[in-house]
Structure 1
Amino acid sequence: MTTTEKLRAMEELWEDLARDPADVPVPDWHRDVLEQRQATAASGEARFRPWDDAKRRLRNG
């Protein structure tokens, strides 16, 4: 398969999975991370960066 064909196949798979999110299993560790982040945000301790700053930081290592 070409890269374009692979991307199309992935898009089709994603669309199919997204039709019924309840059917997609969520690992327990995903729930744990989400709960921790929600607790941090609720406590006012969360710190957010503007998206452009975050991208620049990721690119520069």
Structure 2
Amino acid sequence: MNAVVISNMSLEEKLATMEQIWDDHCQHQNVQSPDWHGDVLQIREENRRAGHEQSMDWQDAKNAIRQRTQ
């Protein structure tokens, strides 16, 4: 696949492709998150506990993203 093919893809197709690549990468690699990811997660958890944010099922989140991009 090259950039020309990618540029012709819809946003939904691009997101689905990125998800497939990430899933494949995670199965075959030992992925280490950078330290700042932990900081962001801690802030988000603090906001959730304070009632400022609510968690969402991953499948529901993906569906919501797809609906917003159609």
Q: TM-score, normalised by structure 2?
A: 0.43
Q: Which has the larger radius of gyration?
A: 1
Higher relative contact order by CA 8 Å / sep ≥ 6: 1 or 2? 2
Q: TM-score, normalised by structure 1?
A: 0.47
